Structure 1
Amino acid sequence: MPRVPDDPALSPYTGWTRAHWAELAERLLLSARPFASPGHARVSFPGRAGGYGADVDGLEGFARTFLAAGFRVAGEGGDDPLGLMEWYAEGLATGTDPASPERWVRLDEHGQAKVEAASIALVLHLTRPWLWDRLDDGVRERVIAYLAPAVGGEYPPINWVWFQIVVEQFLASVGGPYEPGDIEAGLALTDGFARENGWYADGAERSYDHYAGWALQFYPLLWTEMAAGEPAADERRPVYLRRLERYLHDAVRLVGADGSPLLQGRSLTYRFAAAVPFWLGARYDLDTPSPGLLRRAASGIARHFADRGAPDGKGLLSLGWHGPWRPIAQSYSGPGSPYWAAKGLFGLTLPAGHPVWTAVEEPLPVERDDYQVVVPSPGWLVSGTRADGVVRVVNHGTDHSHPGSDLADSPLYARLGYSTATSPVLAGPYAGQPLDQSVTLLDAGGEPSHRTGFDTLLAQSLPTGTAAGASRWRAHWVKPDSCGPDHGSGRSGRVRLGPWLHVLSLVRGPWEVRLVRVGAPDDQVEEAGGRLRVGGWPLPSDIPHAGTAARAGADPVAGETAVVVNERVWSCVFGGASLDVGGVTSADDASPLAPWTVVPWRATSGPARAEVWHEAVLHLGAGEPAERPAVTWAPSGVRVVWPDGAVDDFDVSRLLR
């Protein structure tokens, strides 16, 4: 397909217009057709089968591309020159035919069918005049029968509950079976997911990730459309809208100037699905953020991937981030899974005359100013810097678990830092043995401790605007069980308990002052631990030991600085007097961003002293830092003088009470 020309007047930051989004949707849809079964019921993309098998993969391929088709036609008021509705109508007829060799996996045969059924139901709702109303009676009856096992079905108490609600609400709208009690119970459960400032947790655990936007904001408001006029929907709609509006004020601050979403949390292979909440804000005409800012965020995300190989030259989405990189997938991911990215095309449901398409793009927060923002629910200290366009998150509240647990750390959730310019180490030995963005005690064999199950102590802005966060946990070592599915959370296993660790982060611009206190051994300690290690930002690199990293080498060396650089940013760890050795560790094929991931770190040369504060200063930003924060101590606590002249005094004793 010919490339749509950029429009720098309407879209001065991305160049993208509605025509670019339409082209992206049509490219994905037309490129998928060669992989469809004869009756269009299954779309089986190339590649190794997913963990749930080829039958589920084919259903995913249908249902997830169906989202793109439905959004495209709905936004055109039924205009359908590609014959999308006719093509998918044939798939509906074939997939719901029990006698067809292409029949779909039923909802009572495999749980994943419950996920895909929600996409099917949602698109049937959005395109009802042009698809559902034109199906013959027999096909409609078969679709109802296919969806009916959702009624009374068991759904995990996470975002999946919305799949049951959406399917049953659609069934109710077309005269099918449904159980009001299922919907009422599901709504009550999801009310419990709501957190401060419009955020949602994905269930009872501290699970904060992109699902907060592309699922937990998305389905509630679409359900209120489906159930419009019913008291439960009409009462909840303004509540959902208030939550979305407040959430978006944080969400726009999590997008990098290059359009990269935050590389944190599971299911990252859904890529530009991260644009969903911005389109929601436009669809429901929120007062803020403005339409031009919402489109800037959404188009920036999509273009970030489109310019970097997703979709690829054949128009296909692989399991990966930019290009193919299978380790990013969870065990439930198959070759059709990445097409949940089609949710990011939701903006196409809005017609060409909508303000989100006609407003001039406005800059992202990170393109306007430097900022530090505290997001209390996930316990994040968010820092954006205009000079490099990077957004960083220092994490003292998210671990995909709950306080007091003793799992191994998930690199997707339990690291101390995430950014739009780096990826946590996700593959190889350091994925399971925390190195990057970590504070660990090393046992006699050099194995690092874990932090999952920590207590959040603090997440607040100081009077100067500096963001402060703190957490404490009992260091523990885990020999993980070798079996079990990978849904992004940490592994359980044989645990050895160590001493308590307290960590305080003071964040300003590209800097974090990180203070660490090792507790004295108590009667629960099975492993006292030895050296204390502080790992810095993991930098993507085309070569090991990028730039000045070669000075440090892989082995511990004396001095106060460990540094790595790439063409965009510097990652540095400056150690205080007690963190007297350091180094740089290179991990091969450990993240989707580059062939190598290079991590600077500082450590104590011997066993860490207990009940004293150890200090490190971490940096991620453009250019070699000319001046770093100065840290001094007094009986009342710590004083930090920042390079911009701001001064913060913090009483560390308040963290020990």
Structure 2
Amino acid sequence: MTATTTPAHPAGRADWSRAEWIAFADRLLAGTRRWASPGNARITPPGAEGGYGNAVDGLEGFARTFLLAGFRIAGERGEGLDDLIDFYAKGISTGVDPASADRWVRPEEHAQAKVEAASIAVILDMTRPWVWDRLDQITQERVIRYLSAIVGDTTYPRNNWLWFRIVVETFLRSVGGPWSAQDIADDLARHDSYVRADGWIADGEDRAFDHYTGWALHLYPVLWSRMQGAADLAGGRLPADVARLDRYLQDAVALVGADGSPLIQGRSLIYRFAAAAPFWAGIIADVPSTSAGRLRHAADLVVRHFADAGAPDERDLLTMGWHGEWRRLAQSYSGPASPYWATKGMLGISLPADHPVWAAPSEPLPVETGDDLRIVRAAGWLVSGTRADGIVRVVNHGTDHAQPGSDVGDSPIYTRLAYSTATAPLHAGRAWREPLEQSAALTDENGRSSHRAGMELLGNRIDGDVAVGGSVAAAHWIDPADVQTRHGSGIAGDVTPAGRILTISFVRGPWEARLVRVDELHPAACSLRIGGWPLATGSAPTAFADGSTARVAIARGDGELESSIRLLVGAGEPAVVERDDASPLGLVASVPVIELDAAGGEWVVVLVGLDGARTAALEHAAATLAEDQVSVTWPDDVTTTHDLTLFRSASLTDR
């Protein structure tokens, strides 16, 4: 793994022109074309074979780069791109030829083909005059037969995959192929069942809130609505879909750091700048509440964050990683072409040069104009963006890729107590077994750390200039099963109850005052460990622990980024825990923690900080507890007082 440095704040830099977006797209396309099979049907960049085999890897490479090629062709209305059109047309002809040595894996042969079929169908529709209409009749008939295998298929996972069937059957209908009105009605109803508060959409029935909300569940309704014949099938639903997207984007633009980093949370992070896709979707749908200039600027920052950090690499290839290659960030099934779903974030180049978005004045993100504090109700998130360092932080009390009351393990990418645009959750195998960073965990004599998945969100609110939220968890230890399936959820195994942990967060600027109380404590519990933000770097960071405080600092841009934890109420010891090769952001990851003896019924209060501005003194922080309230003196000497009565019950609804 190559160590990376977080890009500096790009303040004052002009957004890319359309010509610069096109140049970046052409670079990505040129980097992959040299890895095409003789018939162009499979594109397989170098790298470890994915868990689904080489043939699936090659299909992914074709379909996912065909997305980008299609955006490019549509944006130029086919003019001057005959070579690109011919390359992909040949690949289609080869891919659907059953006698070809490099034919495509068929949907009935492997489920992953259902995913890739959707990209092929969307782009064949988008580029209909320049690609589909130029295919010979035999190839068109073979494409229809290839796609038809999905009609009536009942094996689709119950998540964002529903859109893959919708767009394929819509295309089939438009070209005289088989399709099912019932399939589409069922899938639209399932999509609607995943809709949550404020335009957010869960990726399935679990509490799975991540980038799939934007790059799948909001993107595909917009793309679908523009497919031939979709209006006949939509039944007037487009205004509601756009309204949800409009509301979601008001939060989404606030979850991008000033350096362009998306929130580093959730699965499939190797798709990188696919996180820009919903911003382009908002422009295409002409949402009313966020300007086209702000949405284009958000997309620009996200894509350029990765371009500045070395993605694509010197070979003009996207690797399995975040900035550089780091295979652990990928899912087990991911192959060398999987990262090319990132090209969804290039959707904007499908908009022609005369589209108004290219002349719209750039408008800054919320974190670029001031401190931003908000709640994402659906996900149970408290969001704090700080202008001084450009970082967006999310404190999490409602997302775990599980169901309330479940007893699976904590998924590091979903269930930690906080995520940010400047830090990455630890992602090595140990991180799935032993919650460390951003956790409040009970440990036993064998060193097992408890998990919180299945926790209950107790409520969240804005209290002056402080965001408040809480959750209660039936903490449990897990002895992992020998075989695990990881598509986002935590590990499974034999479960032992550890205790009941109530956690309340008060978030202000770069700090969180975290209250933790353990009830129903298991006799085997030895200690309570509360972890702060993980920082990763290419070499040993600056770290120390003494008195009541543990700190870690690393270089960031022209300054330093500090992670700290300070004990305000309770008796415990600070420490800094290191993990090697556990983060996509650097070789050495360090986490400041507080270790306390396990004790039931007693409040512990810590101050957790992630500060790139270093503008206040931690030693000024303090907290006092009364029966029904807590007073927090923050590092900048401001004192706030908050009511705790709302968190007495474990049956409160979201506020």
Aligned to 1:518: 518
Aligned to 1:591: 583
Aligned to 1:563: 551
Give 1:325 deviation, angstroms.
0.5
Encode CA deviations 1:560-599: one digit per residue, 9 max, x unaligned: 1000001231100001342420100111111111111110
For the 8 Å contact 1:14–1:300, the answer to whether it is kept is no
Encode CA deviations 1:407-434: one digit per residue, 9 max, x unaligned: 1111000100100110001015244211
- 2:622 is matched by which residue type in structure 1? A
The 2-side partners of 1:563 and 1:281 are apart by: 41
For the 8 Å contact 2:388–2:613, the answer to whether it is kept is no
The SS at the match of 2:265 is coil
- 1:116 is matched by which residue type in structure 2? E
Matches within 5 A, 1:19-418: 19-81=19-81, 83-153=83-153, 154-226=155-227, 228=229, 230=231, 232-418=233-419
For the 8 Å contact 1:159–1:216, the answer to whether it is kept is yes
The SS at the match of 2:495 is strand
The 2-side partners of 1:231 and 1:155 are apart by: 24
Aligned to 1:535: 531
- 1:559 is matched by which residue type in structure 2? G
For the 8 Å contact 2:409–2:432, the answer to whether it is kept is no
The 1-side partners of 2:151 and 2:378 are apart by: 33
Structure 1 unmatched ranges of 5 or more: 1-10, 553-557
The 1-side partners of 2:531 and 2:571 are apart by: 11
Aligned to 1:4: none
Aligned to 2:617: 626
The 2-side partners of 1:351 and 1:224 are apart by: 19
Root mean square deviation of aligned Cα: 1.5
- Count of aligned pairs: 632
Encode CA deviations 1:17-58: one digit per residue, 9 max, x unaligned: 111211111111111111101110000110111000001000
The SS at the match of 2:591 is strand
For the 8 Å contact 2:15–2:297, the answer to whether it is kept is no
The 1-side partners of 2:81 and 2:130 are apart by: 13
1:616 lines up with 2:591 in the alignment? no
The 2-side partners of 1:297 and 1:41 are apart by: 34
Encode CA deviations 1:594-641: one digit per residue, 9 max, x unaligned: 11111000121x3x2211211100010124432554311223321123
Task: Sort the Cα spacing of 1:528 and 1:364 in 2 relative to 1 into closer, same or farther, 3 A.
Answer: same
For the 8 Å contact 1:332–1:486, the answer to whether it is kept is no
The 2-side partners of 1:54 and 1:223 are apart by: 30
The 1-side partners of 2:392 and 2:418 are apart by: 11
- 1:301 is matched by which residue type in structure 2? V
Give 1:353 deviation, angstroms.
2.2
Give 1:82 deviation, angstroms.
5.7
Aligned to 2:632: 640
The SS at the match of 2:73 is helix
1:603 lines up with 2:598 in the alignment? no
For the 8 Å contact 1:330–1:487, the answer to whether it is kept is yes
Match of 2:572 among 560, 577, 580: 580
- 2:539 is matched by which residue type in structure 1? I
The 2-side partners of 1:80 and 1:339 are apart by: 24
The 2-side partners of 1:488 and 1:325 are apart by: 17
Give 1:14 deviation, angstroms.
4.5
Encode CA deviations 1:385-424: one digit per residue, 9 max, x unaligned: 0110000000001000011111111100010010011000
The 2-side partners of 1:529 and 1:484 are apart by: 26
The 2-side partners of 1:329 and 1:410 are apart by: 14
For the 8 Å contact 2:568–2:622, the answer to whether it is kept is no
The SS at the match of 1:218 is helix
The 2-side partners of 1:480 and 1:227 are apart by: 49
Give 1:651 deviation, angstroms.
2.9
For the 8 Å contact 1:370–1:509, the answer to whether it is kept is yes
| TM-score (normalised: structure 1) | 0.94
The SS at the match of 1:235 is coil
The 2-side partners of 1:617 and 1:598 are apart by: 17
The SS at the match of 1:457 is strand
| TM-score (normalised: structure 2) | 0.94
The SS at the match of 2:501 is strand
Aligned to 2:6: none
For the 8 Å contact 1:382–1:392, the answer to whether it is kept is yes
The 2-side partners of 1:461 and 1:81 are apart by: 52
Aligned to 2:4: none
Aligned to 1:7: none
The 2-side partners of 1:645 and 1:287 are apart by: 40
Q: Which aligned runs of 4 or more in structure 1 are off by greater than 4 angstroms? A: 643-647
The SS at the match of 1:531 is strand
The 2-side partners of 1:41 and 1:24 are apart by: 23
Match of 2:648 among 620, 634, 656: 656
For the 8 Å contact 2:381–2:396, the answer to whether it is kept is yes
The 1-side partners of 2:181 and 2:105 are apart by: 25
- 2:113 is matched by which residue type in structure 1? A
- 2:605 is matched by which residue type in structure 1? E
- 2:181 is matched by which residue type in structure 1? P
- 2:202 is matched by which residue type in structure 1? A
- 1:123 is matched by which residue type in structure 2? I
Task: Sort the Cα spacing of 1:120 and 1:284 in 2 relative to 1 into closer, same or farther, 3 A.
Answer: same
Give 1:520 deviation, angstroms.
3.0
